[in-house]
Amino acid sequence: MSGAEDRSYRVSDTAAGPEGLGLPGVRVRTLVILRWIAITGQLATLAIIGPGLGFPLAPWPPLAAIAASVGVNIGSTLLYPRTAELNGREATIHLAFDLLQLAVLLFLTGGLNNPFAVLILVPVTISATLLSLRSTIILISIAIACLAALALWALPLPWHGPALALPPLYQAGQGVALLIGMTFLAAYAWRVSAEARRRQQALIATQTALAREQKMSALGSLAAAAAHELGGPLGTITLIARDLDDQLGNDPDFGDDVKLLRQEAARCREILVGIARRAEADQPFPRLPLEALVYEVVKPFEGGRVALTVRQSLLKGAAPVLAARTPELLHGLANIVSNAVRHARAQVDIDIEAGRDEVRLTVRDDGDGFDPALLPRLGEPYLGPSQSRSGGTGLGVFIATTLLERTGGTLTFANVPEGGARVDIRWTRHTLDPEETRA
């Protein structure tokens, strides 16, 4: 059980790993709203600096830069549907425009000496949160070029009296601080959003697996219900076909057709009876012994290269454990057992230990064991094939952990000193079988 994945799960081609996770993109409406807010703030700042505080400022060049932003916003509103999303190149171009427009305004109003120079971090942070790493690197490069240009060339900061002259060392430190802050914020936002995307995709895969199991579980009930509902009309058809056969069985024109009708009606009845029997055999009781459920999980893996052994031990005073036959329990246990069989050399042992208050199920194999570097992270999605000795991504273990935790279980992963891997699943008897407490 050295790997961190037991089955192949694929939600989409974009969910293959951290770099390939489906990126949400940026809604055009969101960019338009943010840009309108920026335009309003820029106009208010110009009004306060010029007419409000009386600082000397030529208004037309900054207003031209703001007008360009207004034009882009109006064009975006007209060209794109209301619910459209920008991905990749288009979103990068929009955010690059915002960077350049802000750089032009800063050039006209003091460069890095302008207190609003910190706003140059905003487009880069948005990209790191919602766009790809490549787009973020492109925007960081543009932002660095803008910072370098503003450090070398900029009109004086609007000021009463002589122009404000800060020491070159202070200006250099200001530029470096903005650069470091931008890089840190982008890296932090990228890491956090990437983790969120990994977990979101893994949860989608979990829901997909659970939905598949629930559909398979529901098929038996549906088949039984269909057999029961169709039994009445089919019985009537059978009676009529028998009467017709009695009356017209020897008729040269219709006799053969009537006999065929009676045979097919009988055949349909046999099929429905078989479906009903299989459905009842699949899920005869809402609660079953945990040992029986484990045998059901193990059965598909029997007869292969790996021997599987199931043992149950009852501690003093403990009664046999009953559990609901839920898709979460069956699929979660199947994932753990499948992973053990996949990485075992020759033997997989499954031990059930039931106490008066707690139930523990242990799955142990004789393989190479878990990668020690991955042990603390098992249960997280998308560990990355490069981090796992088996090339797994950890999605299967994440699905198993999530589903079994929904049943009230707690999972721990460890390596056995004599070799192999071990997974312990613990439940309280009440969480595994609430009916026992009520009884």
The residue ranges of every structural domain in the chain are 13-205, 209-282, 287-438
pLDDT of residue 226: 64
CB-based contacts of 386: which residues, under 8 Å, 6+ apart?
none
| CATH number, span 287-438 | 3.30.565.10
The Cα 199–Cα 186 span in angstroms is: 20
Could you list the pLDDT tens digit for every one of the 439 residues in the chain?
544 444 443 333 333 333 444 555 678 888 899 999 999 999 999 988 888 777 888 888 999 999 999 999 999 999 988 778 887 788 899 999 999 999 999 999 888 888 899 999 999 998 888 888 888 999 999 999 999 999 888 888 887 767 677 788 888 888 899 989 999 988 888 888 777 676 666 666 666 666 665 555 555 555 556 666 676 787 788 888 887 878 877 777 777 887 888 888 888 877 777 666 655 555 555 678 888 889 889 988 888 889 999 999 988 778 888 888 787 888 889 889 998 999 899 999 999 999 888 999 999 999 988 888 888 888 776 565 444 555 555 677 877 888 888 888 899 999 998 889 999 999 988 888 766 654 4
CA dihedral 169, 172, 173, 176 (to 10 degrees): -160
User: How does pLDDT run across 14-59, given as a tens digit for each residue?
Assistant: 333 334 445 556 788 888 999 999 999 999 999 888 887 778 888 8
The Cα 96–Cα 72 span in angstroms is: 12
- CA 172 vs CA 102, 103, 150, 190: distances in Å: 20, 17, 11, 27
pLDDT of residue 276: 62
The Cα 287–Cα 367 span in angstroms is: 34
- SS3 of 408, please? coil
pLDDT of residue 4: 41
**What letter would DSSP give residue 275?**
H
The Cα 324–Cα 319 span in angstroms is: 16
